Amino acid sequence: MQAVFSLMRLGLLCACLISPWAQAEPRGAQARVASAELVEGALAVNTRFAVHLNPTLLDALEQGVPLTFRLDFELTRPRSYALWRRISDWFEPTAQIYYKLSYLSLTQQYRISSGGLYQNHLTLNDALASIGGIRGWRVLPREAVGKAKIQDFSGRVRLVLDRSQLPRPFQLNIMSSQEWVLDSEWVNLTLFDNAERGSEK
């Protein structure tokens, strides 16, 4: 019986999602840090985002629906064809990290799971602050970078709510709903030259 009531609640929530009177919310994610540097010969990315959940997403989360966010990296420029050929042998020009946000009703805590690891947070704000935040993310190995300099590369990142990871009932009902669109849009990476930093000291 409890399972039946849970399904009914999910159905009611999905119905609300496509209400024509639903108010559009901001996209809900903004990049605060988006940079790249060479670390021990590898291309490493640093990111941090400010994430905001609109009332629809917050309601779903508190009713037990996990939200999965995807951090995307895209390599947009090696400056020479020879460099591109070397990179293509090692690396597809896109990398991703997933963050799963869930609410633990028994302890009233929020859990972030990523890459087989998880961390619990006492507040939603603390949990949201950890989504998309990473330092030293090795997106290109040193073997592919070779003797190239940081200026030989450019790339961009974005943080999105991955709606394909939602339960099937939601996927069928939110296709045209802007309430379930959370997207920082692509942000170009700022490049930092560690060699120049070292020479300035």
Report pLDDT for 130: 96
This prediction's pTM: 0.79
Q: Which domain holds residue 193?
A: 2-19+26-200
CA 2 remoteness from chain centre = 33
CA–CA gap between residue 86 and residue 81 (Å, rounded) = 9
Report pLDDT for 167: 83
Number of domains making up the chain: 1
Which residues, in sequence order, are CB contacts of 116 under 8 Å at separation 6+?
Answer: none
Which residues, in sequence order, are CB contacts of 9 under 8 Å at separation 6+?
Answer: 63
CA–CA gap between residue 113 and residue 117 (Å, rounded) = 6
Name the band, by pLDDT with cuts 50, 70 and 90, for residue 20.
Answer: very low
pLDDT tens digits, 53-64: 999 999 999 999
Report pLDDT for 94: 81
Q: Are 161 and 100 in contact (CB under 8 A)?
A: no
Report CA-CA distances (Å) from 7 to 3, 55, 56, 188: 6, 20, 17, 42
In the predicted structure, residue 44 carries a pLDDT above the cut 60: yes
CA–CA gap between residue 167 and residue 162 (Å, rounded) = 11
Q: Torsions phi, psi of 167, nearest 5? A: -55, 150
